[in-house]
Structure 1
Amino acid sequence: MAELIHNPEKLETTRLEVSKLMENNNKNIIQDYDISQLPYLQAVIKETLRLHPSAPFLVPHQAIRDVEVQGFMVPKDAQILCNVWAMGQDPKVWSHTEMFMPERFLEVKIDYKGKYFELIPFGTGRRMCPGMNIAQRMLHVTLGSLIQKFDWKLEGNMRA
């Protein structure tokens, strides 16, 4: 919500998308099955998770043997932490890393379900966050509802 409030044009784009879907379907409440019809809202969630992952580090892992990764030697029994926050800030992967740009996800098929390693806020593989599916539904429905039902702006017409 904070990123959208600081970017009123993106908030308005999201609001228009949600409102149009609700009007077209003659509904008052967003349901989880509506998510697939809200690509900009999905992009807002992905961009938010890129910039602000809920856990900056994934669950630690331990190397079971010596292994070389991109020229770096990881010794057996070393604790390995995956810095999800740094991955979302990597200029080799993301342009304008510090900017909130949901549009970057509209043209690409990157999701956060563990298949695309550029964006893994819930981890990947068998140690992936077990709450990812409920989080995915709740994030979209809650944010969409907040945008649809309330008029958000900075107090006293402050500028971001």
Structure 2
Amino acid sequence: MKSLKKQRRIQVIIVAAIALALSTALIGYAMRDGINFFRSPSQVVAEPPTASEVFRIGGLVEDGTLVRGQGETVTFAVTDGGASVPVSYTGVLPDLFEEGQGMVGTGKYVNGTFVATEILAKHDETYMPKEVVDALKEQGVYQDPNETDS
């Protein structure tokens, strides 16, 4: 009698472990396209990602590089002070997008150009995404807009 209870308990534990492993694998599989890693321009230049990898890049829109092409195509360069990466985007840019301001883009790095599918810009004059601030601080370029010069 005791061995039957022990055997049932072991079977329940094994089935629960298999169900947990299967559900974890299914969640990971479902999220594979929803996870985008952030890279600074310096990281992209140092270790270029594969052409099929979707990631986010952020930094400052480099002054003098914003060119509006045919239709809705826009090209510019994004920099973190250490490196600059050319960006191509087809679509409508956010209203607050301009040279010298922070931006984050999602897309792929193809033939030396970041082909963006989405561009996000700051939403006020002091906001900058945390990843961009960290990348600029790492390069020694970031200046806190809340600090006053004495």
Same fold, TM-score > 0.5, yes or no: no
TM-score (norm 1): 0.20
Larger radius of gyration: 2
TM-score (norm 2): 0.21
Q: Is the strand fraction higher in 1 or 2? A: 2
RCO comparison, higher one (Cα < 8 Å, 6+): 1
